[in-house]
């Protein structure tokens, strides 16, 4: 079994999770601005992507047709590079990291959404990253139909965003299951509210986590 680490970092590591169009990019950027406004060093990053190699993998993953195993391995390869070359060095130096998606996305999409075993997918990512887990994960939870309308309103969709119906429902249920299994790491926020209301909730969750350190 892979050993996990959550609280050994100087910087605060916060990840945002949720289905497509639930507002992760919007809210993770608000979180970055909030941390800056209280005088903390912070970087904002994302998966897939996050590093020069990660950006190349992101392009491959989102444009090429591939099987579930290949997809899971490419996400894990991106994650290994991202965590080992960017995220962990930043946290060790005392910089906060606000991250749009991490391994819970793989467990939800490649595991619950597709046909892979969720625990195998999780273990693959833990192996790839040496067991790295964030201190705080904010799950933006939203009815998949509303999320799909938000993504649709924006225009073009990538290969994974084009998945429909049952896939989105399995994904949402899977993410809620992950949050229930790790209540000390996850905070669930209703993503159906306004951008400002959600940003306010995210601010207070982050403040409480910093005060509890
Ligand atoms: N993936 C990813 C996997 O399958 N496995 C993995 O391991 C990982 C890491 C690419 C795809 O890869 C998959 C998941 C994805 O399908 P991505 O490009 O990061 O990942 O795609 P998303 O994370 O889904 O990015 P999106 O931009 O689609 O969604 P966000 O970031 O959740 O939403 P955001 O902030 O861009 O907002 C979407 C729209 O809604 C509006 C925004 O203005 C925007 O137009 N909005 C709101 N509207 C009303 N009320 C609010 N409160 C709103 N907040 C935002």
What residues form DSSP beta bridges with 171? none
For 186, which DSSP code?
Answer: E
| Residue nearest atom 23 of ligand 1, based on CA coordinates | 20
Contact 166, 114 (CB under 8 A): no
Contact 105, 22 (CB under 8 A): no
Tell me the pLDDT tens digit for each residue of 111-131: 999 989 999 999 999 999 999
Tell how far CA 61 is from the center of its chain: 16
What residues form DSSP beta bridges with 5? 132
- Give start and end residues of each alpha helix (H) in the chain: 24-37, 52-63, 68-82, 88-92, 103-106, 118-129, 144-153, 165-181, 195-211
Instruction: Output the average pLDDT for the chain.
Output: 94
Q: Which two tokens stand for residue 156?
A: 């073009």
Contact 45, 99 (CB under 8 A): yes
Of the candidates 139, 120, 136, which has an alpha carbon nearest to the alpha carbon of residue 191?
A: 139
Contact 15, 138 (CB under 8 A): yes
Rounded Cα distance between 84 and 109, Å, is: 23
Residue with the larger pLDDT of the pair 116 and 4: 116
User: Which pLDDT score, from 0 to 100, does residue 70 have?
Assistant: 98
Tell me the pLDDT tens digit for each residue of 29-80: 999 999 999 999 999 999 999 999 999 999 999 999 999 999 999 999 999 9
In this structure, the chain runs to a length of 213
- CATH no. for 13-212: 3.40.50.300
**Domain residue ranges in the chain:** 13-212
Contact 76, 106 (CB under 8 A): yes
Residue 198 has pLDDT above 70, yes or no: yes
Query: Which atom number of ligand 1 is nearest to the Cα of residue 27?
Result: 35
Q: What is the mean pLDDT of residues 99-117?
A: 96
Please state the pTM of the whole predicted model.
0.96
Report residues whose beta carbon is within 6 angstroms of any ligand 1 atom: 18, 20-26, 46-48, 75, 100-101, 105-106, 109-110, 150-151, 154, 158, 160-161, 194-195, 198
Contact 43, 90 (CB under 8 A): yes
């Amino acid at each position: 079994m892979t050993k996990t680490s959550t609280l050994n970092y100087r910087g605060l590591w916060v990840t945002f999770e949720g289905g497509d169009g639930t507002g992760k990019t919007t809210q993770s950027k608000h979180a970055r601005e909030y941390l800056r406004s209280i005088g903390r060093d912070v970087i904002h990053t994302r998966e897939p992507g996050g590093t020069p190699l990660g950006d190349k993998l992101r392009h491959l993953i989102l444009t090429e047709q591939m099987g579930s195993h290949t997809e899971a391995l490419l996400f894990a390869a991106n994650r290994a590079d991202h965590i080992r070359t960017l995220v962990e060095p930043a946290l060790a130096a005392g910089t906060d990291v606000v991250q749009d998606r991490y391994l819970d996305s793989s467990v939800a999409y490649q595991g619950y959404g597709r046909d892979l075993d969720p625990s195998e997918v999780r273990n693959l990512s833990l192996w790839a990253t040496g067991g790295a887990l964030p201190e705080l994960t904010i799950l933006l939870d939203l009815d998949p139909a509303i999320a799909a309308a938000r993504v649709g309103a924006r225009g073009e969709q990538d290969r994974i965003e084009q998945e429909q119906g049952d896939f989105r429902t399995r994904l949402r249920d899977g993410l809620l299951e992950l949050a229930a299994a790790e209540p000390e790491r996850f905070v669930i926020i209703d993503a159906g509210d306004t951008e400002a209301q959600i940003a306010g909730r995210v601010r207070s969750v982050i403040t409480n986590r910093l005060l509890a350190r």
